[in-house]
Structure 1
Amino acid sequence: MKVIVDLCVVPLGVGVSVSSYIARCQKILEDAGLTINLHAYGTNIEGDFDQVFAAIKRCHEDIHAAGAPRISTTIRLGTRIDREQSMQDKIRSVEEKRSAT
């Protein structure tokens, strides 16, 4: 089953700058072959449900191994079985409607 996820990973106990930890997670997601889109407060991920969640688990394991004693993660997800729809399809649909008004 395909899933689209909005992932926000926040390492805790590592100071105020967390970008190096987020970069590690981005590399894991890329190496997993997932479609990703980094944004200001997280990452959108598209792929097979099990592969996406296995990669998120690897992100947690890697960030802990890099020294973060705690991680707070927020996940929003959507699945659809009536038809194929990518992240880009969803964006394009909104942009088309916006330009039509």
Structure 2
Amino acid sequence: MSGTTSTDLYAVADFCLVPMGTGEPSVAEYIAECVRVLEKTGLKFKVHGYGTNLEGPWSEVMKAIHDCHAAVHAKGAPRIATDIRIGTRVDREIAPGTGNEGKVKRVEEILNSNKA
């Protein structure tokens, strides 16, 4: 993976970027700009109703969020507030691109086993 080091933690993140001071009731155009940035990163991401799941090497995840900020400012947002939650683990290997998917799958397995 480009730009990573052998000590770079694998991060599973969820972030919510909120453009402020735009004078518009919808932020969809600004979020679309952020998605354009994320598409160029090669990182796995999934946009949902109130944020974005993003995963990959810590340094690349943080750079992607930084680049989203820069792009949304360039689009005209004078202020941005972002909440970020990041999980890492070192007790086992996480295959790239499967961190969030694995978490959801494990919960679904538990729910399905309780139905039997």
Which TM-score bucket, shorter chain as reference? over 0.9
TM-score normalised to structure 1 length: 0.96
> Which residue, out of 101, 108, 112, partners 1:88?
101
> Which residue, out of 59, 62, 74, partners 2:71?
62
The equivalent residue for 1:97 is 110
Residue 26 of structure 1 pairs with residue 30 of structure 2: no
After TM superposition, give the deviation of residue 11 of structure 1 in Å. Answer: 0.2
- Structure 1 runs (4+) deviating above 6 angstroms are none
Q: Alpha carbon RMSD of aligned pairs, Å?
A: 0.8
Aligned-residue sequence identity (percent) comes to: 47
Deviations 1:52-84 (A, max 9, x none): 101111111111111000001000111111113
The equivalent residue for 1:4 is 12
Query: More strand per residue: 1 or 2?
Result: 1
* Amino acid of the structure 2 residue aligned with 1:58: D
Query: Any stretches of 5+ residues in structure 2 without a counterpart?
Result: 1-8
Distance (Å, rounded) in 2 between the aligned partners of 1:4 and 1:27 = 20
Distance (Å, rounded) in 2 between the aligned partners of 1:38 and 1:66 = 19
Residue 42 of structure 1 pairs with residue 51 of structure 2: yes
